[in-house]
């Protein structure tokens, strides 16, 4: 649609984003467009098959893989993680969320697979402003381009949990733990599992943890948004910055559960369309509709709200908006609960997620809409996502 491209064009002219690509599937009609470039230096144009680091949009794919195992009765949502990862049997919990990393107490409830999907297991993230997040950063959790997922999860066992499982919501590395459990259950590496159970059936042939040398020039250049100077720059490698995470192009053995996948907008659009029906476009079953429905409803009690992701250094000034305030959480997705808090946009039950480099998707089964936005800016200007969302809900 020409109108949406005109809305997005100023972000390119102001160099707030190198380029933006989008797809909206509404009532079985596909609309798509792109503006800008794959890089700011040479200004190579975006192509239909441009590849993006999708960061946390890896997580919903892991969630689908896990729920396939639930359907097959290979795992149970109430299984404790120690059933598969005995190295977590000595897990401790911080006595005080703002206290010393060594001031710990005994765990009361061992995290379960459901806790991992819900981000209520007690783990944290390297970029979050808490002692556990700082400790992850100190031990360089997920900073290596060469370690296996197994090695990283063993490193994670050195840290206590931030809080007692099932008592709070905290966006976390829990999906990496879940990915390792999937490997153990299937006795196979994550790359092969996802390929055989999701990517090949959906014909997502450009989605992988690995990029070949011949495809490297298809990858959009990644930048980071500098909010003080309102411009893009190379990745900021300060302590507890998401840019410290490894995201290698050419390591064929690399895999993670919370980030790490590369994809194209065409591939990811196939994945989110599957989330509407449970089937591929040629009718191959990925998940039962009942399973999808269960995944995409809120599973959090009222005492967990509001959910929020507060990165290190984030300022809660007059301009701060918690964009998760209208949402609950399902088994791998945000789920819209309150349209009044969402500027009266969206439908109750709309679900999706986003990635650290400003990628974003939504699925709205009430309106028969799925949409995905691709670009490559860490901590990008927040108005882009808002404009995309507003356009969808004022035009469809």
Q: What is the pLDDT of residues 224-254, one digit of tens each?
A: 998 888 889 988 788 999 989 999 999 999 9
Rounded mean pLDDT, 107-114: 98
Record: fold of 2-395 = Beta-lactamase (3.40.710)
Give yes or no for residue 170 having a pLDDT over 90: yes
pLDDT in tens, 287-326: 999 999 999 999 999 999 999 998 876 767 777 889 999 9
Whole-number pLDDT of residue 318: 72
Supply the pLDDT for residue 319.
75
Q: Averaged over 359-383, what is the pLDDT?
A: 97
pLDDT at position 313 is 67
What is the structure's pLDDT at 317? 72
Q: What is the pTM of this model?
A: 0.97
pLDDT tens-digit map of 318-351: 778 899 999 999 999 999 999 999 999 999 999 9
Q: What is the mean pLDDT of residues 202-220?
A: 98
Q: Where are the domains of the chain?
A: 2-395
Instruction: Report percent pLDDT > 90 for the chain.
Output: 93
Given a cut of 80, is residue 117 above it in pLDDT?
yes
Burial of 134 (0-12, 13-18, 19+ CB in 10 A): middle
Distances (CA, A) of 184 to 52, 96, 188, 370: 28, 33, 7, 33
């Amino acid at each position: 649609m020409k109108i949406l491209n005109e809305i997005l064009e100023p972000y390119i002219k102001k160099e707030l984003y190198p380029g933006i690509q989008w797809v909206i599937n509404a009532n079985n009609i596909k609309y798509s467009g792109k503006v800008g470039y794959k890089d700011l230096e040479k200004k190579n144009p975006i192509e239909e098959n441009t590849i993006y680091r999708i960061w946390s949009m890896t997580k919903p794919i892991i969630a689908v893989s896990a729920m396939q195992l639930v359907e097959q009765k290979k795992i149970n949502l109430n299984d404790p993680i120690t059933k598969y990862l005995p190295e977590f049997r000595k897990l401790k919990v911080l006595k005080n969320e703002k206290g010393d990393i060594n001031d710990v107490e005994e765990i009361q409830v061992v995290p379960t697979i459901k806790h991992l999907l819900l981000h209520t297991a007690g783990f944290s993230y390297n970029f979050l402003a808490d002692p556990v997040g700082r400790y992850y950063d100190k031990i360089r959790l997920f900073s290596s381009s060469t370690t296996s997922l197994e090695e990283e999860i063993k490193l994670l066992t050195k840290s206590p949990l931030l809080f007692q499982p099932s008592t709070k919501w905290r966006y976390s590395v829990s999906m990496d733990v879940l990915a390792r459990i999937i490997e153990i259950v299937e006795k196979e590496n994550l790359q092969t599992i996802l390929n055989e159970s999701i990517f090949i059936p959906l014909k997502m042939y450009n989605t992988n943890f690995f990029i070949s040398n011949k495809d490297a020039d298809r990858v959009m250049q990644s930048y980071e948004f500098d909010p003080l100077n309102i411009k893009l720059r190379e990745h900021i490698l300060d302590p507890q910055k998401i840019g410290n995470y490894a995201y290698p192009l050419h390591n064929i053995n690399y895999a993670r559960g919370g980030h790490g996948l590369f994809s194209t907008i065409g591939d990811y659009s196939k994945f989110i369309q599957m989330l509407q029906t449970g089937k591929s476009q040629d009718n191959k079953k990925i998940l039962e509709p009942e399973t999808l429905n269960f995944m995409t409803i809120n599973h959090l009690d009222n005492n967990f709200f509001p959910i929020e992701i507060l990165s290190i250094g984030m300022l809660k000034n007059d301009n701060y908006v918690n964009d998760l305030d209208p949402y609950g959480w399902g088994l791998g997705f945000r789920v819209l609960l309150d349209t009044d808090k969402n500027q009266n946009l969206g439908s109750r039950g709309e679900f999706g997620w986003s990635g650290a480099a400003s990628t974003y998707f939504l699925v709205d089964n009430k309106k028969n809409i799925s949409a995905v936005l691709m670009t490559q800016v860490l901590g990008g200007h927040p108005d882009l996502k808002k404009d995309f969302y507003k356009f969808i809900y004022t035009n469809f």
